[in-house]
Chain A
Amino acid sequence: MGKLNIELNDAKNAFAPGEQVEGRIEWSLDANPNALTLSLLWYTSGKGTRDVGVLCTKRIDSPGALGSDRFSFTLPAGPYSFSGKLISLIWALELTCTPGSDTVREEIIVSPTGREILLTSVAGQSEGKNNQSGPFLKRILGVPYAGA
């Protein structure tokens, strides 16, 4: 079984927008792959269908079964890492091996505060379009359900 690893300098995983993300990738595989691709990307998670934005990639062709390399990416001004009630946006470095589906991902935080931005919810301000259960759901959410 192959092993892929992403290591960030000084184990730092929180960055301000515009900062450099630097580190090292290591691989130890059973066979010599065609290529290794390291991507800096963000993706969403939550109630909506996933969106993905790939910022930049570094490709290493015929890397050999064993090896390591350094990387350095400049982060953009945004989007920030954030989590709300409906959407989370997560930044990550992802190393993949082709052919095959071996992948490793290292999450990072991109935020001026050094922490993920948390968005709360203003009471009574949520609504859904095409949500057929509006009043029904409010009834459930408003009263603790029997049997809970």
Chain B
Amino acid sequence: MRARDNPFAADRLERIRYRFAGTSLDELLTRLDDMNYRAAITGPEGSGKTTLLEDLRGALERKGLRTKLLFVNDASPLPEAECRRFLSELVPQELVLLDGADAIRRSSWFLFRRHTVKHAAGLIVTSHRGGLLPTLIECSTTPALLQEIVHDLTPQSPAISPTLLEDLHRHHHGNLRACLRDLYDVHTQSDCIQLRLQNTEVPPLPSVDP
């Protein structure tokens, strides 16, 4: 199987939008408005925080609000000089979206929090833990959600069973991103097996309990 044809390729995963359970994007926007646009999206790794922030951004811009997104992680850190430069270029009408608030230095975080009170329209952050700002929503995942996403990406994949997805979800402690990355390899491998079987015309192997 070619990398581009793998249903779990990175660019396809990035097209997945956040799926709400018990609430909706409109409700979140209303809540955000009540919170004066200062809130945090919390949740463990791979629970959809970045995806939700991107969806929120789109919705806010459609409402006519200006946003400025800043993404921070281990590979894209935020030195203090960079942080100050970013804040100095803000205009009061802009809403700051900080993805990875707990990956920046404490001093930079205090700067952000203080500066955006007067010099920005709001501050929405993503964080693994609560406490940075009032929580807008706490993201979480379930095996059923993983199954739903996998079904959308590849409706028919004999190698990917509900049991496999449950095991993956448990093994990765609910980190959907890690589950989907593993499924990339599963799909590649199962495709290789299928190809070999077709070429050798040997009947498929019987199921074996793990």
Contacts and interface: CB of A to CB of B under 8 A. Distances in A.
A31 interface: no
Interface of A: 45-50, 83-88, 90, 116, 118, 121, 126, 131-133, 136-137, 139-141, 143-148
B171 A136 contact: yes
Contacts of B205: 144
Contacts of B209: 146
Interface string B155-183: 00011111110011001100000100110
Interface stretch (B6-14, B56-64, B92-100, B127-135): B6-14
A133 B172 contact: yes
Contacts of A137: 182, 185-186
A147 B10 contact: no
Contacts, number: 93
Given A47-B9, A48-B10, A133 B208 contact: no
A146 B2 contact: no
Interface string B130-152: 00000000000000000000000
B207 A85 contact: no
B69 to A, nearest CB: 16
B3 interface: yes
Contacts of B171: 133, 136
B186 A83 contact: no
B164 A147 contact: yes
A139 B210 contact: yes
A47 B3 contact: yes
Nearest to B192: A121
A126 B189 CA distance: 11
B118 interface: no
A88 to B, nearest CB: 4
Given A83-B2, A144-B205, A146-B209, 10 more contacts: A47-B181, A48-B10, A50-B11, A83-B3, A85-B3, A88-B3, A88-B4, A126-B185, A132-B178, A146-B163
B188 interface: yes
